[in-house]
Chain A
Amino acid sequence: MSVKDTNVFERGSDVADRENAERDLPVTVRRDVNTVLAGFGGQGILFMGKVIAYAGLLDGREVSWLPSYGPEMRGGTANCSVCISDAQIGCPLVTAPDALIVMNQPSFEKFVPTVKPGGVIVVESSIITAKVECNNVAVHYVPATTLAEQHGLKGLANIILMGKLLAAAGFCSVETMTETIKKIVPARKAHLIPKNIEAIELGMKA
């Protein structure tokens, strides 16, 4: 039995852009995004990745979420790769991201040099003091942990940073993100939905 791919060589991002133009969707909102999220275990790195992947799912797109797993997660670094595309995801492991969120110094050192030219980096600047030295990427420094504490959003630094990435990389619409938060926050924690939405708005403006 042979299964043939009917979409051979026709599903590049330019095709997706064309289709989006036909559907009157803003082209930038439907961009392919290959994201790396990295930090310490416990900062909500994997959850942040799930939110981004879930937003892609709600938009009816192809998505993949690949966590780092194993001993590095216990007290060490945690990272995950998230891909959103209109074409089938090739390699779910992102080695050259066009969007990066870093939440600790080791991740900053490891992943900043891997970002593609023209990419976006969001740096948790209340934890990381280093600055990005290359000038072909857009860098956003957000003191997310400090902001979270000031606004009564303790523990939502990750969501603030994701809000910034949403504004900078436009991986989905704000409406989709709001819907995603409503669906992904478990029922027993429903009281946290407004806080998460507030954190996203705060991040988008940061």
Chain B
Amino acid sequence: MSALAAMLARDLRVAVRVGGGALIGVLFFLVVVTLTPLALGPDLALLQRIGPAILWLAALLANLLALDRLFAADHEDGSLDLIMTGRAPLELVVAVKGLAQWLTTGLPLVIATPPIGLFLNLDAKAEGALVLTLLVGTPGLTFIGLIGAALAVTLRRGGLLLAVLVLPLTVPVLIFGVAAANAAVMGPVPFGTPFTILCAFTLASIVVGPFAAAAALRQEME
């Protein structure tokens, strides 16, 4: 257990120190949300209607952006080999790395959502629903992303491949995340229905993601 805790602490430290990319995802999020009204026009009613969708898409992309280095950096400096020869089960280590990844990229997105949502003319109710769906949905994105990050770890141009592999798999998160956020604002479905399914999907990906990612790492490091 202490090995896993050390792993978590290390990943968090690496992410926030110089050269780590913890807040770049949030910056990307902000930039995408700023660019969207420039493309759509400053129609506040329109922005309010599609705001949740824009924020969800931006969160999806920001999340993807950070995944690229998740295992690749460890592979390059050799620590991945140490991790794999270590005594802690690889699945758990991968899960802990996923958790650290979410704490440094997913959680900041969730925290940044309320102020950024103001740009899109979202009211308090929509903000609340959006924060809640992102809080529940982004771990799902991270843990699905683990699989892609593990598959792409030794590849040149792995980042591009990662996007192609991971994005189609995140279709359910996007659908139910946006659906829940919209349901809270305009209905007609109760917020709980899509939100519960979103929770279920996230839980399932927390189970499947580490196993698949660990399997991918094992076969690649052979």
Is chain B a partner of chain A in the same complex? no
